[in-house]
Structure 1
């Protein structure tokens, strides 16, 4: 961990920034300075008529904001100077614009250069969360349109769980999962690498959750069942959730949702470089998604479609059945036992193992204890591939 370190967690009300900020502070063992904790109790204790109305809508709102953030900066500066690190949480709407407010925050956190994490999500979801928590101040909160940050930020989607958010944030802060350099997979040679798509090559987890949440709302079904069956084909999920006479309608609906949401997706950490390092004739993508969904996500994240591209439309039995990986190996003309699979979900890992393949698992989607793989890493930049003189592929620690 760099020293000194200042982490700034920004985002609108209801985005979960305080929860994430607290989790980061706990992992860093750093002081947490939250704007609400520092200033809200005082403001709530003052009579509204003394402030010219509620402090969020008062005629003195600009001055109140200026005072709140001055108190936040001073407290954060003290924490950083004494502890060597600090996590600061607030909406930071003005600061993200990169103007005077941003420079004031940077100056307060010197000599650290702040790492800014911005949590955001579907406005309807954030509004629902605010309503559910019932905080009195939310009744008075002005509806401020979101503005794209003018400073570098680590974007985090509020659809993700706190653990999933941490899996994306901590490596960016230099906190990496150690690579087991004694893992037996490093002693093996492979003829091909078979990649899962979602959560492995493309960071589509939030998009998947958002699409299926909208699906669940539309069809009035349980989100718990969806979470319990991650990594399995949509037709399997639909089969668990709805009667047979609604399957076609449901599959068409969720396909439309997922294709429409495949916008602005990014590659998983290190995945684009790792994928490109595999010779085209030695790689395949094996996904539980349909052709339209998988194609949309590949394009959104900037990948070229490989020659061997196995989707749920190509198989009778999807993951956790081994059929998808066996078909990919067959199309590549290689022995499944000499294939390395890259996965992120228990269903995919089970399918790969049943096919006789070795498996690397990526954190970020599923709890680490559920990843029964030959090697678990927090990004594909933690490993790399070497080509042996005989033309085989060998995995090595980066």
Structure 2
């Protein structure tokens, strides 16, 4: 879509598409509490297992473990309920609330691997008003890194995929954004270790602002630091 020398700041977009966990809110502590307890019950190496949970649907994470005698659907429902009940420490990424409020309501969406009930609970806990368009775990047959979720959100917004900017933090989500045909911005606020990426990055939304032109297109701008 773009020349190698170009960045996401060089383009105008019709819509911004946001992953949720790690991208507009930080739920790492809550998610890892729930998943660590699950992994321990099933005799897994908790520390190693926790590196696999971020950005993916619960059903996909559980299925990948191929545990004998485990009903993945039932276990995923249990994980979701536990996560809905535990939102302690769920907070917005710095600047996210204000940045999202600055966007036209019909030009952004949340595209998350979480089920809808959990997504709404975490958005509420973080003080983020849900957008009109949300694509959640129930909306797709295949989760990230499959690009269908992002393509579906663009379709619901009535915007060509090539005119969207995807905001992501996790590897599987970045791959989904790339495969969708959109440009990708990587949000690093929740990263515990640096990520090597060819994409533009921001640590927080305090570093950027959006400008809407007369034609209704959105342009991402870096804030000038005094």
Alignment map for 1:1-398 (pairs within 5 Å): 184-223=7-46, 224-241=48-65, 242-243=67-68, 245-363=70-188, 364-365=190-191, 367-373=193-199, 375-398=200-223
8 Å CA contact retained: 2:30, 2:89 = no
Gaps of 5+ in 2: none
Distance change in 2, residues 1:366/1:339 (3 Å) = farther
Q: Deviations over 1:248-291 (max 9, x none)?
A: 23112211221111135211011111111110100100001111
Q: Is the 8 A contact 1:337 1:356 kept in 2?
A: yes
Q: Distance in 2 between matches of 1:183 and 1:261?
A: 41
Which has a greater percent of helix?
A: 1
8 Å contact kept, 1:193–1:342: yes
Residues paired across the two proteins, number = 216
| Structure of greater relative contact order (alpha carbons < 8 Å, 6+ residues apart) | 2
1:244 Cα deviation from its structure 2 partner: 6.3
CA separation of 1:259 and 1:371: change in aligned 2, threshold 3 A: farther
Measured after TM superposition, the shift of residue 372 of structure 1 is: 4.1
Distance apart, 1:337 and its partner CA: 0.6
8 Å contact kept, 2:162–2:182: yes
| Distance in 1 of aligned mates of 2:58 and 2:149 | 15
TM-score (norm 2): 0.90
Please say which of residues 301-310 and 255-264 is displaced more in the overlay. Answer: 255-264
State the 1:183 CA deviation. Answer: 5.4
**Larger Rg over CA atoms:** 1
User: TM-score, length-normalised on structure 1?
Assistant: 0.52
Q: Partners in 1 of 2:89 and 2:29 — Cα distance?
A: 12
Instruction: Tell me by how many angstroms 1:213 deviates.
Output: 0.6
- Over the aligned positions, Cα root-mean-square deviation in angstroms equals 1.7
- Measure the CA separation in 2 of the matches of 1:287 and 1:201: 11
Aligned mates of 1:183, 1:257 — CA distance in 2 = 43
Alpha-carbon distance in structure 2 between the residues aligned to 1:353 and 1:286: 14
Flag as ranges the 4+ runs of structure 1 deviating above 4 A: none
Note if contact 2:26-2:91 (Cα within 8 Å) is conserved in structure 1.
Answer: yes
User: Per the alignment, in what secondary structure is the counterpart of residue 221 of structure 1?
Assistant: coil
Q: Deviations over 1:91-112 (max 9, x none)?
A: xxxxxxxxxxxxxxxxxxxxxx
CA distance in 2 between partners of 1:382 and 1:217 (Å): 39
CA-CA distance at 1:379 after TM superposition: 0.6
The answer to whether the 8 Å contact 1:344/1:371 transfers is: no
Alpha-carbon distance in 2 for matches of 1:334, 1:367: 34
The separation in 1 between residues aligned to 2:135 and 2:42, in whole angstroms, is 29
- Mean CA deviation greater in 255-264 or 346-355: 255-264
